[in-house]
Structure 1
């Protein structure tokens, strides 16, 4: 018998021992570190899962970093909006009609207080977080507003708000200080005392400045009143009868005017006898000389009318002009900055689009070129069976919709016409003509509107019978052609206004969407802010207006020691009333108000926190999964080491014994 090592292959035994030694080293590493492997290659079949989980955790870390940054910005917004709301309340309460303070202290200090509030607001809107300006939409590398000094006083030869106010007030008051209204007496000298005399009040042209005649009423039937407010320019004639009819004491005329900022005011002129005259501005004395009574009464009425216009112009009209200049200078989204056109503002007849070379641009952040407010600078008018949609003057290619084309489609030829006039300003006119042909269901008008960026939007209005839906207008069932045309026009205009406003809203977009942040795979938080939104804009306009306006007392010429109902107080009241209107709590529901913006940011913050909570929970799950894949139980490893150590010791002994095997030892 042959006895040798071939009975036990040593090479195989050494290999097994080597593997057990490697395993022992791995277990010792696992016991010391708690992880399964030190390199990715050692992960084996767990590698794909480990890489996938780690990739997901990295993504979540990125989202959490974004959430942290956005949360910081939202915290700043929250503090800024809280302070802006406080400023709004302070401004609203600082100027109240009739509250002038001791020795008119409120009138004396309101300008400086308003400037301080304006300056604080500009500072807040120009604030940055980590070098990122937050109130300019997606424009984050520069402050959205100039300094307060530049806004008010201009810079580098460019006009500021004070200059625009000065020009606008001159254009609104006119050279006579009567709000661009003129009077004439016809005839100047009647041939007979029985001849009537007419005082005519007329706007001095077709322009946006000064008083616009809107209403007239009379008490007493002795003064003839004929008005034509639809004329351009509008006019009113007051006819004073000759003997034997006379103007009676107590007869009065009340005139209503639309002011440049869109508000209304009125003046009243009352007839009094010479014995009862008090000298008040609104009184006119009835002539008592039979030979000149009519012309005297008319002349006194004319003088009282001029004096009343001038007095109102120093208070109501100037206040309205200051706020109108605020609308012109502090332009809203989709509107250009406007200034009085012409060398002499007193005789100006139009506004012009300001340029960056001659006027300070108050806002330089991101803004919409088309706004839903005002239908993208389009205005509608209707007369009988005709509807006109017109671009606003002055036309600006960088702001608002441009009317590009109009396409009519009809079943019965001649039922209506739809044409575009190139202008300027361009307009669209649709006229219904039932006498020629009947309007049929399915007839339509397609209006093409072009945005400043070149994008076009088609607005199609389709005629239907019965109830009209979006983009539709109801066909009239009236039996008389004229009535049918007028009703068709009214229905068409209603549908057009709704559809064009919707198109403008779509073009305007949402300021919140100007800045968004990805906070999860399928979710983004929108938190953009633009300083020209309506809430901030109203505050800036009103505080700038209150800053530049002053209230000097003007002595009564008839009594130098008194003040004629104190024109300064009247102007203060007019300014305070407008500021109250601009900053009214009733505007809180308007889009862009501070209150609505705060609510929208609250929704964004809630979405941000919800996403953060989801990431926290998901990360915990992934950490557990990764732990199962990449880590080990030290207790299990220790037990495995003990077992392996026993096997390894036994293997050492067996191998040692076999390696020494020989016939002598065997025997």
Structure 2
């Protein structure tokens, strides 16, 4: 009996083909299970470089998106804080209503209490933190940028004591000296002399007269030091006519650029109206009457306008702004970074060539002016209601309305300007974020085309390969059983 030679049927090559098909079947099963076209970089061939580049770019986008999320979180806190500070600024303006004393001066007491509470809230807002990072201190975010209310106001060198010292310096305590102006009368001549070369009290800016009977001049005490103490000389060379006037220009501690004019008008009316002086029988009597009118006016202003101005001057010295040296006699109220460009103190890369800058400092002008205004009212004891306290209140109101006016909203460092600048930064961030989303989606699609296995296509290939394998197995099995004996 002769068996057909195996060479008549290529079993080995057939088995090799079946093995390859089985391996391909396993790979297709794995693709269907994992969704990945390739299991190793080696399998990717020429697609490997494109896959790596796409993944690197996507990784960079994810990093930028993480930075954007950090910026957005901080921006949301800024938005809430700035909105509240703007509301408090409006409340501070509402405190400054001329002649609004209330019944028995109740509004004067309320103004102080309300200012105190608002100041505490301002400090809390400026000490806002995100997981321990304080956001109103520039890039110095590990400590509270603003000291506590108690330390600022009532500390050993706090604002209360600092203001008391400043008030004492500005008002003067020597008899015949009001607001640091020495006043003397000799016959028909009145002299007003600043009592030293310093920045306290009134400063004499000018003297002018109308008519020919009274003359006046203002000049340095020492011609060799024209910016040192000044002296005003007023001489009644005769009896003035009714309506002749003497005007003295003075400046106040909180604002040396603005001159306030005190006008005294000659009158024969009895009693003498406010702002007037009686025409005397001769030049000496007229000078005495004018001297008394000037002294009375300076004394009244010293207790009212000057004291309020002095308190604001104390606030200017205590709550220093950007780049200014802290007064050595005052507590440090601000502990954050002190940069002339606060926005640049904190930045984040949000794209390859795009950086957003969004730092904020609690010692920017808008915040400082708000703190000053509230602190001034907080330390000002304005009750009971009397002429002196009413005058002080009205003087505070005038300064407050000027300092916190909406007209200042366009100044650098104003709360509104900070809000606008952060809004521009937020707009840039949103634009870049949208671009990243669109570009990232495109990259994901390109990557999917390379690395992801299409399920429908893989399933069809599996079915086709399954059919081919089954046919191959059957053919091989049939061929392996063939022999000549079966046909004899």
Tell me, yes or no, whether TM beats 0.5.
Answer: yes
Q: Which runs of structure 2 are paired with 1:403-442 in the superposition (5 Å)?
A: none
Q: CA deviation at 1:622?
A: 1.6
- Give unmatched runs, 5+ long, in structure 1: 189-196, 339-353, 369-507, 555-562
- Find the aligned partners of 2:109 and 2:210 in 1 and give their Cα distance: 40
Cα distance 1:135–1:180, how it changes in 2: closer, same or farther (>3 A)? same
Q: Does 1:601 align with 2:422?
A: yes
Aligned to 1:410: none
Paired with 2:216 and 2:396, the residues of 1 have a C-alpha distance of 32
Q: Is the 8 A contact 2:206 2:217 kept in 1?
A: no
| Preserved contact between residue 284 and residue 300 of structure 1 (Cα < 8 Å) | yes
- In the alignment, the residues of structure 1 paired with residue 58 and residue 134 of structure 2 have an alpha-carbon distance, to the nearest angstrom, of 31
Paired with 2:276 and 2:455, the residues of 1 have a C-alpha distance of 105
Distance 1:233 1:134 in 2: 46
**Superposition map of 1:9-24 within 5 A:** 9-24=10-25
Asked if the contact 1:282/1:305 (under 8 Å) is kept, the reply is: no
Separation (CA, whole Å) in 1 of partners of 2:367 and 2:487: 105
| Residue of structure 1 aligned with 2:305, choices 309, 316, 326 | 316
Q: Say whether residues 1:575 and 2:406 are aligned partners.
A: no
Pick the aligned partner of 1:219 from 210, 221, 226: 210
SS at match of 2:173: coil
Measured in 1, the distance between the counterparts of 2:131 and 2:402 equals 37
Once the 2 structures are TM-superposed, how far is the Cα of residue 550 of structure 1 from its aligned partner?
2.0
SS of structure 2 residue aligned to 1:213: strand
Q: C-alpha displacement at 1:664, in angstroms?
A: 5.0
Cα distance in 1 between the residues matched to 2:49 and 2:478: 45
Residue 101 of structure 2: aligned partner: 100
Kindly state the Cα deviation for residue 663 of structure 1 after the two structures are TM-superposed: 6.3
Cα distance in 1 between the residues matched to 2:28 and 2:299: 101
Q: Deviations over 1:143-174 (max 9, x none)?
A: 100111211111xx4x0111221121111112
| Conservation of the 8 A alpha-carbon contact between 1:286 and 1:297 | yes
* Paired positions, count: 478
Partners of 1:5 and 1:658 within 8 A in 2: no
Could you say what secondary structure the match of 2:178 adopts? coil
Is the partner of 1:520 in helix, strand or coil?
A: coil
Kindly provide the CA deviation profile for residues 178-235 of structure 1, in whole angstroms up to 9, marking residues without a partner as x. 111112334x6xxxxxxxx322111122221111111222232211212226463222
- Alpha-carbon displacement from aligned partner over 1:578-599 (angstroms, at most 9, x marks no partner): 1000110100111111111111
- Provide closer, same or farther for how the CA distance between residues 514 and 306 of structure 1 changes in structure 2, counting only shifts above 3 A: same
Structure 1 position 272, deviation (Å): 4.3
Question: Whose Rg is larger?
Answer: 2
Q: Which residue of 2 aligns with 1:528?
A: 359
**1:253 matches 2:253:** no
1:180 matched to 2:180? The reply is yes
Question: Which residue is equivalent to 2:152?
Answer: 151
Structure 2: unaligned runs, 5 residues or longer: 221-225
Question: TM-score when scaled to structure 2?
Answer: 0.91
Q: Which of 261, 266, 269 pairs up with 2:264?
A: 269
State the distance in 2 between where 1:550 and 1:93 align. Answer: 18
Aligned partner of 2:330 in structure 1 is 359
Query: Is 1:545 equivalent to 2:366 in the alignment?
Result: no
- Considering Cα pairs closer than 8 Å and 6+ residues apart, tell me whether 1 or 2 has the greater RCO: 2
Which deviates more, 582-591 or 100-109? 100-109
Counterpart-to-counterpart distance in 2, 1:22 and 1:247 = 123
Residue of structure 2 equivalent to 1:199: 190
Q: In the superposition, relative to structure 1, how do residues 248 and 54 fare at CA in structure 2: closer, same or farther (>3 Å)?
A: same
What is the TM-score of this pair, normalised by structure 1? Answer: 0.67
* 2:298 maps to 1:302: no
The equivalent of 1:588 in structure 2 is: 409
Distance in 1, Cα, partners of 2:132 & 2:252? 44
Cα distance, 1:641–1:552 mapped onto 2, change above 3 Å: closer
Contact 1:95–1:106 (CA<8 Å) still a contact in 2?
no
Question: Does structure 2 conserve the Cα–Cα contact (< 8 Å) formed by 1:277 and 1:283?
Answer: no
Match of 2:231 in 1: 235
3-state SS, counterpart of residue 324 of structure 1: helix
Q: Does 1:208 align with 2:206?
A: no
Task: Confirm or deny: 8 A CA contact 1:588 1:594 kept in the other structure.
Answer: yes
Partner of 2:453: 632
Aligned-residue CA RMSD in angstroms?
Answer: 2.5
CA distance in 2, matches of 1:93, 1:32: 70
Mean Cα displacement is larger for which, 649-658 or 198-207? 649-658
1:272-421 alignment, distance < 5 Å: 272-273=267-268, 276-278=269-271, 282-288=275-281, 293-338=282-327, 354=328, 359-368=330-339
Q: Structure 2: how far apart are the matches of 1:160 and 1:12? A: 98
Partner of 2:126: 125
Report the Cα distance in structure 2 between the residues aligned to 1:298 and 1:231, rounded to whole angstroms: 28
| 3-state SS of 2:295 partner | helix
Partner of 1:648: 469
Where does structure 1 differ by over 6 angstroms across 4 or more consecutive aligned residues? none
